[in-house]
Structure 1
């Protein structure tokens, strides 16, 4: 992978990044690097997302090194200092049937960024196969990526809590989704990307220790402390 240029030459280097998900039991994640895939175009960078990261919108959109770094991050050709990518493991229901073999099949948690407003997880979608991809190829079609990018911004804009896309790229690789089309990647931000399926996975495995660790982690994500009981966390989640 490429090395990140000096801080004075790159606005991304000022971010403080870690990955506390790796402190959770290994049954909840697998380390996984993104697959290299050359970027054709950086389609958009979200001003709203940049403001969440306390980055100057105008500076970054016109900063040659900054734009190049973001494209390389989408391409799987660079990681920012502190990033330690992983795929999350969870369970869920597909077509009404419980499935405990699933997880992030084409998404990776790159790391979490410390901001004055709280931590923000940075997720890369479409970066290739993971251990939980099953029969999927791990890629994301451009049409689906554009829909996700626009709808997520619309939901966020009207006050419905959701992940907020940071940037969207299309790639040189072509994939087949009912027709041949360009592949794409989306990087998104959220205080947490935890799913109901994480709890379903731990419950299916009978892991009380894992459940306690996950609840403590999520309490920290949302600034609520890590000493809530399972019952308190459930009631609080319903209220939210």
Structure 2
């Protein structure tokens, strides 16, 4: 069934040209279906930058035709909506078949970006769910997608949010919303696990060939692994995932639900649910109230990523054909993650070259931050300014153990003598953001939006799109969190 043809007379033409390469894989990979309409939709937030990215004239973001289309009430001309099937491990346990339970893929734009509607209604993969998203979680995903992009961290993007007065039951009755999210691909580790678990080698190979040819063509010409393109794919994904984990850890980001079905085959941050940027630095911090065992604590994320890659390796093993090759491909993660993490931490300290003391210095400051419960983002930003102006007292004020800080600063200052102060400070100010999406900032935007006031969302969006800039007059958004912030609970329904 070609929905774009069947319903062309009712489709909204926003000037987008489409490809449907994922749909061309065949019906074993998805179910075609239309989004379920929502009543009385309204705009909540938009990103002109993402509109330009996908080849959409930003002036459409405000028109009723686009509002109806991105709510799922009208088809976009040329789109071919579908929900894909995948499986996966959730909290370390095999969950069997999953799939796009509330996301509907419209297709791929001619310039290579897939567009999904999240919250567009029930699909065959919704299980017991309603297929909807609520305003609260949609605002969090919209803002964090754009915040991560502003930080330079690979991520899905968010084009817009539309809202509706339609009621949705979570812990309480909330209102519905739809996020239009954008990525080069939404293929997950779980897509491969699905076909491997069901012994379906033909679609497993078709999917792997699609991913290689579309996103990793260099794997075809590899001289490693005896020319095995599937082993090369596993290595490439392992390395991208390692770099992503290094970026998460360096900025203090907790994902919250690192299930294999939430892991991008392209090494992107996807599926923003109970995420958090840490306030006080607590290595064992668990941001997801549903994660009662602490599986996805901040300091466990790198190891969980490797565990997930091992699951991907098992799924690809029928194609790789050699367990030793698969193990060798995974080894790259163990090399790339520490290298990338150290490089990012050196940049946070303004160090442009490697020294023997680096690891000791980095371990030392992370231990001090943890022991003193220091605010992670504020520390790094203050340190960046202190290196530039020579005044370290505002940094010292963050520590209860002043003597330990003074001792660390002495070691740091000795190493800093190898660098120009302004050069180091400039690097640090471009590496250590002033603004991150703290939970309480998101909560303030959500509370205002529930009352129909989207100005707070717009202000946050503007700050987070350029998080390294000073943004005079907005220091309150970079201040310590209020006491009530610690009472915010985010869960798998967030």
Q: TM-score per shorter chain, which class?
A: 0.7 to 0.9
Q: 2:172 aligns with which of 164, 179, 189?
A: 179
Superposition pairs of residues 83-102 of structure 1, within 5 angstroms: 83-102=79-98
Q: 1:127 aligns with which of 116, 120, 124?
A: 120
Displacement after TM superposition at 1:74 (Å)? 2.7
How far apart in 2 are the matches of 1:226 and 1:136?
38
Q: 2:77 aligns with which of 77, 81, 90?
A: 81
* Higher fraction of helix: 2
Superposition pairs of residues 1-240 of structure 1, within 5 angstroms: 3-4=10-11, 12-13=14-15, 15-57=16-58, 59-61=59-61, 67-115=63-111, 119-222=112-215, 224=217, 227=220, 229-240=229-240
Q: 1:42 aligns to what SS in structure 2?
A: strand
Whether the 8 Å CA contact 1:113–1:120 is kept in 2: the answer is yes
Whether the 8 Å CA contact 1:45–1:168 is kept in 2: the answer is yes
Whether the 8 Å CA contact 1:89–1:132 is kept in 2: the answer is yes
Displacement after TM superposition at 1:20 (Å)? 1.8
Q: 2:217 aligns to what SS in structure 1?
A: coil
Count of residue correspondences: 226
- Specify the alignment match of 2:324 in structure 1: none
How far apart in 2 are the matches of 1:95 and 1:239?
23
**How big is each residue's C-alpha offset from its partner over 1:150-188, in whole Å with a ceiling of 9 and x where there is no partner?**
111111111111110111011121112111111100011
Q: Which has the larger radius of gyration?
A: 2
**How big is each residue's C-alpha offset from its partner over 1:80-110, in whole Å with a ceiling of 9 and x where there is no partner?**
2221111110001223321222111111111
**How big is each residue's C-alpha offset from its partner over 1:94-147, in whole Å with a ceiling of 9 and x where there is no partner?**
2332122211111111111012xxx00000000111001110011101101111
**How big is each residue's C-alpha offset from its partner over 1:16-39, in whole Å with a ceiling of 9 and x where there is no partner?**
113222221422211111001124
Q: 1:71 aligns to what SS in structure 2?
A: helix
How far apart in 1 are the matches of 2:37 and 2:179?
15
Displacement after TM superposition at 1:225 (Å)? 6.7
Displacement after TM superposition at 1:210 (Å)? 1.4
Say what the alpha-carbon RMSD is for the aligned residues: 2.0
Whether the 8 Å CA contact 1:39–1:74 is kept in 2: the answer is no
Calculate the TM-score normalised by the size of structure 1.
Answer: 0.86
Moved more, 190-199 or 95-104: 95-104
How far apart in 1 are the matches of 2:49 and 2:211?
24
How far apart in 2 are the matches of 1:128 and 1:20?
23
Classify 1:37/1:226 alpha carbon distance in 2 versus 1 (closer, same or farther; 3 Å): farther
Displacement after TM superposition at 1:43 (Å)? 1.0
Whether the 8 Å CA contact 1:90–1:200 is kept in 2: the answer is yes
Classify 1:99/1:79 alpha carbon distance in 2 versus 1 (closer, same or farther; 3 Å): same
Whether the 8 Å CA contact 1:212–1:230 is kept in 2: the answer is no
Whether the 8 Å CA contact 2:60–2:66 is kept in 1: the answer is no
Structure 2: tracts of 5 or more residues without a match? 1-6, 221-227, 241-494
Q: 2:212 aligns to what SS in structure 1?
A: helix
How far apart in 2 are the matches of 1:89 and 1:60?
31
Whether the 8 Å CA contact 2:103–2:119 is kept in 1: the answer is yes
Structure 1: tracts of 5 or more residues without a match? none
* Higher fraction of strand: 1
Whether the 8 Å CA contact 1:17–1:81 is kept in 2: the answer is no
